[in-house]
Amino acid sequence: MGQVELIATTAFGLEAIVAHELKQLGYQELQVENARVTFLADITAIPRCNLWLRSADRLLLKMGEFEARSFEELFEKTKALNWNDWIPAQAKFPVEGKSIKSKLFSVRDCQAIVKKAIVEKMKEKHKSKWFEETGPRYRVEVALLSDKATITIDTSGAGLHKRGYRKLSGEAPLKETLAAALITISRWKPDRALLDPFCGSGTIPIEAALIGRNIAPGLGRDFVAESWPQIPGHLWQKSREEARDLIRHDQPLGIRGTDIDAKAIKLAHYHAQEAGLQKLISFQQQDARKLNSRYKYGYLISNPPYGERLAEKEEVENLYRSMIPVFQNLNTWSFYILTSHPALEKLIKRKSDKKRKLYNGRIQCTYYQFFGPRPDNLQGPFAI
């Protein structure tokens, strides 16, 4: 099989981060659009990208893209695609859909038409009138945007944020993909200390440890495309062996997570253990207002409470104000804070060096970046 066209989907604001990750994997010809990065690659990219992409939501196989202003046009152009190269006679192939600003606004009708078109194309090859759909799963999606239809097959299965270590979750958990992106944006390196004073169930410290040790985030889970006959099992095995060989087992890390909630810390310990990282991260119950560190230089990366509910707003604002002495005490550190609260800079009496608009789920947030001074004669791990 020759080259395939793939789409790495992503949350709004993270497209450049996902593009950077793909370039790091060796894929250079990328098309970056809202919430997705499209690229050409050979079939080995399906296991490699599913294993390695840290900030993408899913990896989709792009079957086709075309204008569709009528149901007849949608049917004929869908039928013309090379479905027989991908979907076996026994495959399960549910069709999902979405439509934005398109004449074909009935998602249910679009799904039915795409399903019918695929079946008609399969009938031509298999000379059968009925397909039982008992085999491997190929989830098809028809996405209509301004009358342009993009038709894909999902290769990931569960979203890529599901690394496999977070079996339990606390209140308002941060997605693993966003946590990884926050760390990437900060340009943190594993020879520097990293601290999250609102760590919750431990997502930011755990993702930092995965990055610091160069552990592929998908190494502990399965993907739906592993059951596809088009991708031989040895390609998945080879990609996993490559990922294991690239782990930096001897890389020292100075990563700490704290939280005032004892239950959250218990969850953080559990998740770190599930990820096999319990010896690499220090978690402890602590009030963020009493924060300190023995390291002179470091990165504070955090997703503190936002105060989205009116009843919590005053409490959160007081919390932000109370962090001023902490920031002053750690005056050689860099701070990276994600929040939806519009007045963070005013509350902590400090203007950020850089801002970035990001989305935590459906909540529009700002990622405030406060740069510390460049370390003087940095020696040894974490610059004590």
Residue extent(s) of CATH 3.30.2130.30 domains in the chain:
4-154
Predicted TM-score (pTM) above 0.85:
yes
Q: Name the segment(s) of the chain with CATH classification 3.40.50.150.
A: 176-220+246-370
| Closest to 182 in 3D by CA, of 166, 198, 170 | 198
Q: What's the pLDDT tens digit per position in 25-80?
A: 999 999 999 999 999 999 999 999 999 999 999 999 999 999 999 999 999 999 99
Half-sphere exposure of residue 249, counting CA atoms within 13 Å on the CB side? 3
Is residue 382's pLDDT more than 90?
Answer: no
CATH fold, domain 4-154, is VC0802-like (3.30.2130)
Q: Which amino acid is at 343?
A: A
- For residue 181, give every residue at least 6 positions away whose Cβ sits within 8 Å of its Cβ, in sequence order, or none: 14, 17, 54, 55, 358
Beta bridge partners, 356, equal: 367
Q: What pLDDT digit, counting tens, does each position of 281-319 carry?
A: 999 999 999 999 999 999 999 999 998 777 688 999 999
pLDDT 10s digits, 224-241: 999 999 999 999 999 999
Q: How many Cα atoms are found within 13 Å in the side-chain-facing hemisphere of 74?
A: 28
User: How does DSSP assign 203-236, residue by residue?
Assistant: HHHHHHHHHHTT--TTTTS--GGGG-TTS-HHHH
Q: What is the pLDDT of residues 200-220, one digit of tens each?
A: 999 999 999 999 999 999 999
Q: 114 CB contacts (<8 Å, ≥6 apart)? A: 74, 75, 78, 95, 97, 140, 142, 151
Find the helix or strand (DSSP H, E) in which 117 lies. helix 107-126
What is the predicted pLDDT for the residue at 125? 87
Token pair of 304 as six digits: 């503190």
DSSP code for 289: G
The distance from CA 171 to its chain's CA centroid, rounded to whole angstroms, is 19
Domain spanning 176-220+246-370: which superfamily?
A: Vaccinia Virus protein VP39 (3.40.50.150)
